[in-house]
Structure 1
């Protein structure tokens, strides 16, 4: 009997110990699962796929403000660093949404990085994602803001540029009327009136040409064009102005290069470069115009002996209405659109234009175009290439 009780007691103790061991094992497993969820949090189904598909920035933040998911765009904009939001203002917006529960929309201007002064313009929306996470979406509007600013500047500049000759014509017309009995004054005011009218005509034509170039994207009816003929025509158009100031227009040897394009547009581009060089060169100086064919690229260079362009201005000389020296540009009759026309005309031919300058030593502008022998069809701009690719995929 005693031995039976001992057996039963042993069995009972074994069951208790086994049950306790199983409970400890289950408890440890549960803690391990909870720890795993904390270290590797799961986000709602489908969020990963959505973030991968986003072309803009998308970020998922956990309750500790750790970034648990982010789209490629978030990294390219520099919004995420070491699994955390790199911009303090974004952290503030996330905390605000977590506290109030209400979505937030805001336009932000943020530093792209701590290494420079470049900024980015973002349209940001922050909202809850489930009960634990915060979703941050950021659309990069830097380029859109820049283009809008350029549009406003263009309207303001063109209004100012048109106002000057129109005002001068009005004043001169009144002066001409009051001086009707004085032949010398009539001739003087008439010459001034003609000059201002010509300036207004040039400005109007430049605006028309630039608008046409920006709208066309590509040369609509490209033909084989002799670069030697283009350069000769552009030089002839500037010869009278150069000779009036004893400036030599020196041309190099013929390149016999041929490109696909519009001869009148290319002549206008080269003419504008030569005209600029003559206007900014001192009297009795020299403007060099050369052509070269190298590795399938045709280069047209125009070099002057003028005052040169400071490095800070060199990158902006192709902008519409941008002038290094406002007073001198107006005194020489410049409209501020000549180099912008050059840039767009060359780009529409699949080429590029470069500028080099050293203050006190003059400037060199170089047009680079693909040689016709190396292309079988007229060149396309990047925008036209993208459009053609899109049409093939639809």
Structure 2
């Protein structure tokens, strides 16, 4: 009986092993058959990734607005230079939380949304802008954000009224002085010394009037300029070198040395003429308020996705309570000194306006008796954006 039981147990084990081997063989045959079927159809199956709808890339390239395409985790996968000029994007991040919230809502419900925001412009929030934003689903997983700058439209009426009032006041001074000097010259026609003195003053006032009119024209042009449509990649090394060169003559007249240091490799997006005007005015301002036989330092460097231009003078410095106001139109800390230097009161306003239009900011460090340093920061053009890489 014991022998019979043992034989039955052995038979059961052998049957289990045989069944396992048969199952394994059938599994291998099935796998080989599947592979053969796949290979006969031309390869392993490919899972397609979502792509932009046909024609979307071509439309976006000519739309004339800032646009940003976000993925499912709000990462920027495509953005045009205008979005950087507006200060909406830095690197591959959409800066403003309000815009990210709007994108998430559209992603959740699939309904196109439109809103107008007042947003901080640039990386440090130095200025605000009014922007109209439209957000819509794009393709299977992307979100498209279109932005249109409405700042100038929103502020035009107030700015125009303020500007006209200020211009009228500022023009009265040189025009009145020229009129009085002309009368003085006529009354002193027989006094050669007086005529020469009055004529020298007349030349100075007429030059001041011409500079004021030129700055007014320049500021008016800036307000009508569209950096997004007219902009391009700009090499700030070249622009800064030309701005320094244009200031050499007034520097030489005061025996001031302009010391330049640093270079950058990447470009900024913008209008070359406007950036030239801003940097020229910034250096001109440093020369005007620097004593004779001193040095004006100009530095250029790149860090953290920004190109930084610093202009340092050895002038009288600016008190803390005055520092915020120096960028206002026609504001002068010392009106008498400004008349002596020939300043129009518009130079720094023009600089701030240009920098803001390029998505940057300008800051000031100064202390009475220790000079001043004005620093302009502009966002670089990211390689991924400049090359306009496709999504596939």
Does the 8 Å contact 1:259/1:370 carry over to 2?
yes
Aligned in 2, Cα 1:267/1:277: closer, same or farther, shift over 3 Å?
A: same
Matched, 1:274 2:261: no
Q: Distance in 2 between matches of 1:332 and 1:219?
A: 36
Gaps of 5+ in 1: 1-145, 379-394
Does the 8 Å contact 1:353/1:366 carry over to 2?
yes
Residue aligning to 1:322: 331
Residue aligning to 2:361: 352
Does the 8 Å contact 1:277/1:303 carry over to 2?
yes
Deviation of 1:258 after TM superposition, in Å, equals: 2.0
Equivalent residue in structure 1 for 2:227, among 212, 218, 231: 218
Matched, 1:362 2:371: yes
Q: Distance in 1 between matches of 2:165 and 2:312?
A: 32
TM-score normalized by the length of structure 2: 0.55
Q: Distance in 2 between matches of 1:151 and 1:261?
A: 25
Matched, 1:333 2:351: no
Q: Secondary structure at the match of 1:347?
A: helix
Deviation of 1:375 after TM superposition, in Å, equals: 7.0
Q: Distance in 1 between matches of 2:327 and 2:299?
A: 21
1:187-266 pair list within 5 angstroms: 187-216=196-225, 218-266=227-275
Matched, 1:343 2:342: no
Gaps of 5+ in 2: 1-154, 388-392
Q: Distance in 2 between matches of 1:150 and 1:259?
A: 28
Aligned in 2, Cα 1:301/1:264: closer, same or farther, shift over 3 Å?
A: same
Q: Which has the higher contact order (CA 8 A, sep 6+)?
A: 2
Residue aligning to 2:65: none
Write the deviation string for residues 34-88 of structure 1: whole angstroms up to 9, x where unpaired: xxxxxxxxxxxxxxxxxxxxxxxxxxxxxxxxxxxxxxxxxxxxxxxxxxxxxxx
Q: Distance in 2 between matches of 1:304 and 1:356?
A: 11
**Root mean square deviation, CA, Å:** 2.7
Residue aligning to 1:95: none
Does the 8 Å contact 1:172/1:193 carry over to 2?
yes
1:160-171 pair list within 5 angstroms: 160-171=169-180
Does the 8 Å contact 1:228/1:257 carry over to 2?
no
Q: Distance in 1 between matches of 2:383 and 2:312?
A: 27
Write the deviation string for residues 240-271 of structure 1: whole angstroms up to 9, x where unpaired: 11121121111003324422222111111011
Equivalent residue in structure 2 for 1:288, among 288, 297, 301: 297
The number of residues matched between the two structures is 235
TM-score normalized by the length of structure 1: 0.55
Write the deviation string for residues 153-196 of structure 1: whole angstroms up to 9, x where unpaired: 54443222101100111112222333444554444333322221
Write the deviation string for residues 108-153 of structure 1: whole angstroms up to 9, x where unpaired: xxxxxxxxxxxxxxxxxxxxxxxxxxxxxxxxxxxxxx99887665
